[in-house]
Structure 1
Amino acid sequence: MTTQSLIRQWRIPGAITLTFIALLAFMILHAHWGAFIQWCLAAQITLHRYLVMYLLQLNNHQTSGGLWLLAGAFVYGVLHAIGPGHGKFIVATYLSTHSEPRLAARLIPFFGSLMQGVSAILFVFILAVGFNLAAGDLSQSRWYVEKISALLIGSFGAYVMYQAARSMRPRKMRIHALTPHARHSPDCECGHHGVGAATEGDIKARLGVILAIGARPCSGAIMILLFSNALGMVTWGMAAVMTMSLGTGLSIMGLSLAVRYARNRTAALFSDDAQRLKWVVPVLKIAAGVALILFATVLFLTVIPVSANGDFIAAGC
């Protein structure tokens, strides 16, 4: 029995098994979602208080506090990646509906997480240092930034839908002259053909994912930067924030590779039905765009309210 026949034989049982596992995981997650959210928030608040304590140790010339600050910031970033967040949803939605090479599946969420740290640094140093805004004004500015980032996520979802609908249109046949320069084999790595071909649309979509993730700075990173700026320890605050982003990026990289593997295995089950895949893939991308727009709507409507005393007090730190 050939490999192709084995795939055909196990295609339907495999699809049923995957669906059953996904439904079971969803039911378990839904049953314990509230407790999981509370645990994540409590752990992050506790870690944030430790980070503040390490900054105070540095301010008292205790150099060991710097090492503990960076280690705690890295753990904070890992926990931030484990908990619910917009970055995980965007990465999972994009990679489950777009075929990306392994390197791109690693770098896209990694750069998006690093951009979150850069966004937090720019937010604090443009508004808190440059314009010297008060705590309440910073909270209001954060509110606007989160609203705008939700709109960016929704715009990216609309772009994904547009690209999918565009790919469903019939394309005109192009005739190339069979010149010596035009002749090449499928494995010549020229970048003009194949599944991994780098096109302008691919680059735009990848940049859109990075921007959608990074445009929404982490509130914990903003709090650490504000506190380090008040103590006059800006460099340590920036180092802690980028270490947070590193922990988040490395964790989301693991998620992205798992999503990519699941997508490829699922596609392999239906690889012998190319005509159906020609229409199924764009439809799935349109569904992903709709999901991103709905997710952006939820984010837009559930932004943390403005606090007159500052977000660091509202967060219990």
Structure 2
Amino acid sequence: MPVTVKPLWIKPLCIMLAVVALATLLFSGVGQGLWHSLVADIIALQRTLHRGLASAMMALSRREGIGDWLDLMLLSLGYGVFHALGPGHGKAVVATYLLTHRAALTRGLVMTASAALLQGVVAIAMVTVLVLGLGWLTRDAMAGTVWIEKASFVAVTALGLWLVYRAGRGLQRLRSESASAPAAGPLQPGALRLTPTQPAGASVMTPLHHAGSNACHCCSGAHHIDPMTSGRHWREMLAAIVSIGLRPCSGAVMVLGVAAMLGFWWAGVLSVLSMSIGTALSTSLLATLTVLARVRMAHLFQRTGTRRPLGIGYTLALLGGVLITLLGIALLINAPDAALSPLMRGPLG
């Protein structure tokens, strides 16, 4: 009985069609309506959690029992987890960077955890200076974060432009090396593939992988074109961490303001650190799923046996840089001048 074999290109085609269908739904009128409704529900729930955090801080100031401390820390941790699940530019930057750049899972986890911690540190430093040092109200301090937000959006734009510049230089170097290389017969298939299966924790997608060494099979030369083999990727990661973590969490600012008002400053600091841990848990999950998706896509396309264009990794990096740049510009254009966050409107603002 003959056995039918499914062509290997079926799975990649199905994935691409699913992505196109999802994008079409999101940009349609129905998708936009559902999105705005979801955002409104998330803001309403976050406002409720803000009030819960303030109530837990007030209860702690009255009793200072172990149960009150535990309630505040667990509520702060849960708020951090939920807050990171909502829409935000940080998740977009993380997902785009990890999806289009060859970064190991460990680096992605370091980036997300560091960005979450930086958000908490920025909130603590800002409230310390503005509320404790200058005597501002919590509402005024929250409104003043608009300038920090704009600085964060500028950092996102600068990161995108740097990624575009570096990827463009890599493509230009590949073109010049290919033009100057002597003709030596057809290219070997192994020189055009994505990286073969690596041990756990290793990177999967490279701009151009020459198996075994840096020597090129087509020109017998050395192509130093892997951007992740040098220390520059750590500078990129640092820029991504700053662009994400520079914008403080509104809940952290609020709970610190209440803590300062009640005279329980260190309780507020511990609460914010708990929020950072919760945020790190959610964003690390996003980083893990993104890296695994990138690895899976690389394996699917590798199994098709299709000859890959020279410099596919740099092309993906260029695309990621363009997307991050456009995101930063859009955030800057739509950033309010001095509007109060909707989360801070109400009796606890």
TM bucket (normalised to shorter chain) is 0.7 to 0.9
Structure 2: how far apart are the matches of 1:283 and 1:197?
15
Report the CA distance between 1:170 and its aligned residue.
Answer: 2.4
Structure 1: how far apart are the matches of 2:237 and 2:344?
36
Q: Secondary structure, in 3 states, of the residue corresponding to 1:125?
A: helix
Partner of 1:298: 330
C-alpha distance 93-246 of structure 1, shift in aligned 2 (>3 A): same
**How is 1:225-244 mapped onto 2 (pairs within 5 angstroms)?**
225-244=256-275
Structure 2: how far apart are the matches of 1:67 and 1:76?
14
- The question of whether the paired residues in 1 share the 8 Å contact of 2:120 and 2:272 is answered with yes
Report the CA distance between 1:140 and its aligned residue.
Answer: 4.7
Letter in 1 for 2:165: Y
State which drifts further: 293-302 or 157-166: 293-302
Letter in 1 for 2:334: T
C-alpha distance 254-139 of structure 1, shift in aligned 2 (>3 A): closer
Structure 2: how far apart are the matches of 1:77 and 1:136?
21
TM-score by length of 1: 0.83
Which structure 2 residue ranges, 5 or more long, are not aligned? 179-210, 214-223
Structure 1: how far apart are the matches of 2:226 and 2:307?
14
Structure 1: how far apart are the matches of 2:315 and 2:227?
20
Letter in 1 for 2:38: F
Structure 2: how far apart are the matches of 1:260 and 1:125?
37
Match of 1:168 among 171, 185, 197: 171
Match of 2:156 among 147, 153, 156: 153
Structure 1: how far apart are the matches of 2:113 and 2:64?
32
- The question of whether the paired residues in 1 share the 8 Å contact of 2:109 and 2:287 is answered with yes
Report the CA distance between 1:273 and its aligned residue.
Answer: 4.8
TM-score by length of 2: 0.75
Structure 1: how far apart are the matches of 2:212 and 2:240?
29
- The question of whether the paired residues in 1 share the 8 Å contact of 2:72 and 2:271 is answered with yes
Letter in 2 for 1:16: L
Report the CA distance between 1:105 and its aligned residue.
Answer: 1.9
Matched, 1:262 2:293: yes
Match of 2:8 among 4, 10, 26: 10
State which drifts further: 24-33 or 258-267: 24-33
Partner of 2:311: 279
Give the structure with the higher percent helix.
1
Match of 2:231 among 200, 210, 216: 200
Report the CA distance between 1:257 and its aligned residue.
Answer: 1.0
Partner of 1:95: 98
Q: Secondary structure, in 3 states, of the residue corresponding to 1:270?
A: helix
Which structure 1 residue ranges, 5 or more long, are not aligned? 1-5, 174-184, 188-192
Partner of 1:76: 79
Structure 1: how far apart are the matches of 2:227 and 2:296?
17
Q: Deviations over 1:14-54 (max 9, x none)?
A: 22211222234445553521221122111111111111001
Partner of 2:45: 43
Q: Deviations over 1:36-75 (max 9, x none)?
A: 1122111111111111001110111142222111111111
Partner of 2:242: 211
Partner of 2:17: 20
Q: Secondary structure, in 3 states, of the residue corresponding to 2:47?
A: helix
Q: Secondary structure, in 3 states, of the residue corresponding to 1:10?
A: coil
Structure 2: how far apart are the matches of 1:67 and 1:78?
17
Q: Secondary structure, in 3 states, of the residue corresponding to 1:267?
A: helix
Match of 1:246 among 274, 277, 292: 277
Q: Secondary structure, in 3 states, of the residue corresponding to 1:99?
A: coil
Structure 2: how far apart are the matches of 1:221 and 1:315?
17
Structure 2: how far apart are the matches of 1:60 and 1:41?
29
Identity of aligned residues (%): 28
Structure 1: how far apart are the matches of 2:339 and 2:347?
12
Report the CA distance between 1:306 and its aligned residue.
Answer: 2.6
- The question of whether the paired residues in 2 share the 8 Å contact of 1:136 and 1:307 is answered with no
- The question of whether the paired residues in 1 share the 8 Å contact of 2:123 and 2:248 is answered with yes
Report the CA distance between 1:313 and its aligned residue.
Answer: 4.7
C-alpha distance 275-16 of structure 1, shift in aligned 2 (>3 A): closer
Q: Deviations over 1:87-137 (max 9, x none)?
A: 110110000001111211222111111111111111111222223334565
Q: How many correspondences in the alignment? A: 292
Structure 2: how far apart are the matches of 1:250 and 1:165?
34
Match of 1:115 among 110, 114, 118: 118
Structure 2: how far apart are the matches of 1:304 and 1:124?
21
Structure 2: how far apart are the matches of 1:203 and 1:244?
25
Q: CA RMSD in A?
A: 2.8
C-alpha distance 234-94 of structure 1, shift in aligned 2 (>3 A): same
Letter in 1 for 2:35: W
